[in-house]
Amino acid sequence: MNMAADHALPDLLVIGAGMAGLTAAARAARDGARVVLVERGPAVGGSAAFAGFIWTTPDYDGMRAVNPGGNPQLGRVLVDGFADGIDWVRSVGADCGPAVTVVRYGRGHPVDTNGYIRACQEIVRASGGEIMTGTRPLSLLLEDGVVRGATCVLPDGKTRRVEARWTLLATGGFQADPGLRADYIHPQARDIQLRSNPHSTGEGLRLGLSASAVFGKSGAGFYGHLVPAGVPLADPSLYVELALYYSEHALLFNTNGERFVDETAADHLTAMALVSQPGARGLLVGDSVTYREWITGTYVEGIPPANTFEACRRKGARCAVAEDLSEFDLIPEDWGYPGPKIREAIEAFNLAARDGRPPRGREFDPRPLDEPPYYVIDAAPAITFTLGGLLIDQQARVLSSLGGVVPGLLAAGSDTGGLYHRAYAGGLAPALVFGLAAARTALAN
C-alpha cells in the first residue's frame, strides 16, 4: 500500500456503537480524525441505553480490594482516568449529576446515557464521519500481520471493505451467544437469561482471535444479577425492576438445600456463583428486616425505592411469604427444594449468627434472619456482560499471542479481558475510560 493511498484512509474504524465505541468515535472525530462507525443493531447505543450511572472505586486501593485478581495496570488506568472521563461526558453536553455512593465501595455520577449517546452520534456526523447501522463485521483485513480495517456485511447483504489506519473492537462482549457463554463461563451459562442488548454475540472476540489476539485469564466470569427463575425478561424495563439486588441481605440455598456463597459480598458475585450450582437455581430467603430495609428500599442513592418482591409476584414468579420457619416444610414439591432441610439450615444459621459466628462469614451483614415473616423466591442468574475477552495494554492496544501487540488493532469495553477477574467495579466507566484511551492511541499514531 503506497503512502498516498494510505493517507486517504479513515483514521479509525470502530466496530460497535455502545459506550466504548461511541466514546472513541466521538472523541477521535472531535479532535479531527476521520471516523467510520459500524453497528450491528438497528441503532447506536448498545446496552448503555439501559444504564444510568457511571461509577467505579474512588481510589486504587479500593480497586485492588474488590478486584484482587484483575490486572493492576489496567485497574490504575481506570481509576486515574475516571475524572477525565466524567469531564468528557460533561463536555459533550450530556446531563451528569453530582457524585453519589454506588453500592458499598463505589462513587459515581448519574448520567443521562441516552443524551450522551445522541451527543456522540452528532459529533461523529458533524465531523463528516460515517455511521453504518444494521451492519456486521465479517472479517478483519490483514496485511502482513497488520490489521487494516474490516470487511462488513451491509443491511442488504452486500459486503464492503472498510480500510482504516486503526480498527477498534467494541462490540460489547459475548453474552448474547449461548455457545460462547458455555465455552468461556460454564456449561450451564448456555441457558441463563440475557439482561442486555441482543447484539453482543462475540464478534469482537472472534475477530480478535482471528488476528492472533490473546484471550484473557480463564474463569473471569461475568457481570449480572439474580432474577426470578422462569420469568422472561421480555422487556428492558424488567432488567432493573426484577433484579434481586437485595440478595446481599438474604440467604440463598441451592436445590440441595445448601448455602454455597457469602451472599453479602455482592449480588453480582452471588449470581456468578449460582451458575455452577445444580440447575443454576437457588431459593432466596429474606426476613422482615430484609423486606423493610432492602426489598422495599433503594439500592443506589437517589433512586426511588420500589417493591421488588411484589414486582416479581405480579410477573408470575415462584414466590411466597412464610409466616414462620415451620412453613418452609410446605414448600411445593414441584419447586424442587427440600423445605425441611432449608428450615433446619436457617435455624442453625440464626443460632450461629446470634453467637457472632455466622456460617460462610457474612462479612457485610452478619445479623441473623430471625424476624418473620419470610419472603421466599425461586431465583436464577441473568447475564449483563462478560468479563473475559481480549487482553489489552494501557493504551487499549490488543496484545498478540505472538508477542507484543497486534498492529492496527484496539479494543475497549466488554470486548476486553484482564481488567476484572470474578469482580466488578463499574461497567460504563471502563468503556468510557478505555474508549478515550483508544481514541488517543489512534490520534497519536
For 200-228, the pLDDT digits (tens) are: 999 999 999 999 999 998 899 999 999 99
Do 4 and 416 meet the contact criterion of CB atoms below 8 Å apart?
no
Dihedral angle sign, alpha carbons of residues 109, 442, 387, 240: positive
pLDDT for res 301: 64
pLDDT for res 2: 36
What pLDDT, in 10s, does the model give residues 184-202? 999 999 999 999 999 999 9
Dihedral angle sign, alpha carbons of residues 238, 241, 246, 248: positive
DSSP-derived secondary structure letter, 427:
S
pLDDT for res 300: 64
Q: What is the mean pLDDT of residues 340-369?
A: 94
Q: Hey, what domains does the chain have and what are their CATH numbers?
A: 3-218+387-444 (3.50.50.60), 224-383 (3.90.700.10)
Q: Per-residue confidence at 103, pLDDT binned at 50, 70, 90?
A: confident
Q: What are the beta bridge partners of residue 9?
A: none
CB atoms within 10 A of CB 164: 23
| Measured distance CA(403)–CA(397) in Å, rounded | 12
Query: 33: helix, coil or strand?
Result: coil
| Measured distance CA(59)–CA(219) in Å, rounded | 25
pTM of the model: 0.94
Express as a percent the part of the chain with pLDDT over 70. Answer: 97
Q: Per-residue confidence at 5, pLDDT binned at 50, 70, 90?
A: very low
pLDDT for res 297: 80
| Measured distance CA(268)–CA(388) in Å, rounded | 15
DSSP-derived secondary structure letter, 294:
I
Burial class (CB in 10 A: 0-12, 13-18, 19+), 335: middle
| Measured distance CA(52)–CA(44) in Å, rounded | 16
- For residues 90 and 304, which has the higher predicted lDDT (pLDDT)? 90
| Measured distance CA(120)–CA(419) in Å, rounded | 25
b (16+ CB within 10 A) / e for 72-94: eebbebbbebbeebbebbeebeb
Q: What is the mean pLDDT of residues 148-176?
A: 97
Strand runs labelled E in 247-404: 251-253, 282-286, 319-322, 374-386, 390-391, 397-399
Do 146 and 338 meet the contact criterion of CB atoms below 8 Å apart?
no
Do 291 and 308 meet the contact criterion of CB atoms below 8 Å apart?
no
pLDDT for res 104: 84
Contacts of 216 (CB under 8 A, 6+ apart): 387, 388, 389, 390, 391, 416, 417, 418
Q: What is the mean pLDDT of residues 240-259?
A: 96
Mean model confidence pLDDT for the chain:
95
Q: What is the mean pLDDT of residues 75-86?
A: 98
User: Which of 376, 355, 182, 372 lies closest to 280 in space, CA to CA?
Assistant: 182
pLDDT for res 1: 36
Please say if the pLDDT value at position 29 is more than 90. Answer: yes
Q: Per-residue confidence at 302, pLDDT binned at 50, 70, 90?
A: low
Residue type, 46: G
Q: What is the mean pLDDT of residues 330-359?
A: 95
Q: Per-residue confidence at 445, pLDDT binned at 50, 70, 90?
A: confident
DSSP-derived secondary structure letter, 349:
H
Q: Per-residue confidence at 305, pLDDT binned at 50, 70, 90?
A: confident
- Separation in Å, CA 439 to CA 242, 318, 328: 36, 48, 56
Question: Longest C-alpha distance within the chain, in Å?
Answer: 81
User: Which of 362, 331, 330, 328 lies closest to 347 in space, CA to CA?
Assistant: 328
| Measured distance CA(391)–CA(418) in Å, rounded | 6
Q: Per-residue confidence at 162, pLDDT binned at 50, 70, 90?
A: very high
DSSP-derived secondary structure letter, 93:
T
Task: Give ∠ CA 262-263-264 in degrees, rounded to 5.
Answer: 95
* Helices and strands (H, E) in the chain, number of each type: 13, 20
